[in-house]
């Protein structure tokens, strides 16, 4: 449970990812078994300035529920104002990003930057909890660097001020996305006898086996999945099938991949217009068609075509050329 929201026994959560977890992609992941989806992270400063890109990210749809809107910032007044704006969009959950390692976010003391000031992190969370009736959750990292990991204490303090769930990426800010995620400190949070809110693991959940390991070996309450789902919304279904049966299900066929890529592009165009729809869907194509030999010319056409028709034509060509291709 996240607050009073039933998310299942071991929920799979779609991680908030900039320019990735938009409504079109969230819809595809939801269809394939994602239990909870999160928006791209949204700047509190951008929201209160009514910046078009920030406001657009507030778009959520009934078919996505339960859905969380994630915001980031480090200024109390701005964060509280943004909570009011977010609440008006009707999400099920408000999530605070205390984990983004990107320099332009960290340099303002937001995202993972706040890991240098745990007292501020806790006080911001407490103020936001008091400012909304919606459940407030947190996504963060193990710490700023290896020498400042205090995630057991941090998680307990966040829980004590009303945080309803915590998702922890198993890397420090200093690691960015390098090296391997360390799930042991996340398990220590879960095993803290004072903890009673859900503890979700994030980082390197890239196979169904890894998701099972997170559940059965580390004892966590759910898995937040990011990079493994990009261009591959079927990952959620595959994890659930493996958890239920201990066996891998068949990968999606070429027809299913082309159909999903087409829908994805069309939904993106419908939501954000042709130029952005075409541009921001490009990052998914490598994974939609991963493993096909001699695929580069087709991929290049997909990622260099500025007009939707060029991309749709490339999908047709892929189906004509590789329609019978058997994925391992």
Which residue, chain included where needed, has tokens 């999908």? Answer: 315
Asked if residues 113 and 141 have their Cβ atoms less than 8 Å apart, the reply is no
| CA-to-CA dists, residue 189 to 29, 106, 122, angstroms | 28, 24, 16
Q: Which among 29, 100, 163, 249 is annotated as catalytic?
A: 100
10 Å Cβ neighbour count for 130? Answer: 12
Distance CA 318, CA 261 (A): 11
Q: What does 207-262 look like in DSSP terms, one character per residue?
A: SHHHHHHHHHTS--SEEEE-GGGTT-TTHHHHHHHHHHHSSPPPPPPHHHHHHHHH
Distance CA 156, CA 195 (A): 6
Distance CA 288, CA 21 (A): 16
100 flagged as catalytic? yes
SS3 315: helix
Which residue, chain included where needed, has tokens 């890894």? Answer: 210
Asked if residues 196 and 156 have their Cβ atoms less than 8 Å apart, the reply is no
Residue 210's Cβ-side half-sphere holds a number of Cα atoms within 13 Å equal to 18
Tell me which DSSP letter residue 146 carries: G
Beta bridge partners of 326: none
Q: Which positions are catalytic?
A: 100
């Amino acid at each position: 449970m996240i607050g009073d929201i039933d998310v299942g026994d071991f929920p799979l959560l779609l991680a908030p990812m900039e320019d990735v977890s938009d409504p079109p992609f969230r819809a595809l992941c939801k269809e394939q078994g994602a239990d909870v989806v999160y928006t791209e992270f949204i700047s509190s400063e951008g929201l209160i300035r009514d910046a078009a890109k920030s406001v657009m990210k507030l778009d959520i749809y009934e078919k996505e529920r339960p859905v969380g809107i994630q915001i980031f910032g480090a200024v109390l007044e701005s964060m509280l104002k943004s909570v009011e704006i977010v609440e008006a969009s009707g999400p099920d959950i408000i999530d605070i990003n205390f984990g983004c390692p990107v320099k332009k976010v960290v340099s303002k003391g937001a995202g993972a930057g706040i890991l240098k000031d745990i007292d501020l992190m806790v006080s911001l969370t407490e103020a936001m909890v008091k400012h909304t009736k919606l459940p407030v959750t947190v996504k963060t990292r193990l710490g700023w660097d290896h020498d400042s990991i205090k995630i057991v204490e941090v998680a307990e303090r966040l829980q004590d001020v009303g945080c309803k769930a915590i998702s922890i990426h198993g890397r420090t800010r200093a690691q960015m996305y390098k090296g391997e995620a360390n799930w042991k400190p996340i398990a220590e949070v879960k095993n803290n006898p004072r903890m009673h809110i859900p503890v979700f693991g994030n980082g390197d959940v890239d196979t169904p086996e890894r998701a099972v390991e997170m559940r059965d070996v580390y004892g966590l309450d759910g898995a937040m999945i990011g990079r493994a789902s990009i261009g591959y919304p079927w990952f959620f279904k595959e994890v659930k099938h493996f958890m239920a049966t201990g066996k891998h299900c068949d990968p999606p066929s070429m027809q299913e991949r082309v159909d999903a890529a087409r829908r994805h592009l069309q939904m993106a165009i419908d939501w954000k217009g042709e130029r952005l729809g075409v541009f921001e869907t490009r990052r998914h194509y490598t994974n939609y068609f991963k493993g096909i030999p001699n695929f580069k010319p087709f991929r290049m056409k997909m990622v260099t075509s500025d007009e939707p028709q060029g991309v749709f034509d490339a999908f047709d060509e892929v189906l004509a050329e590789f329609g019978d291709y058997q994925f391992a």
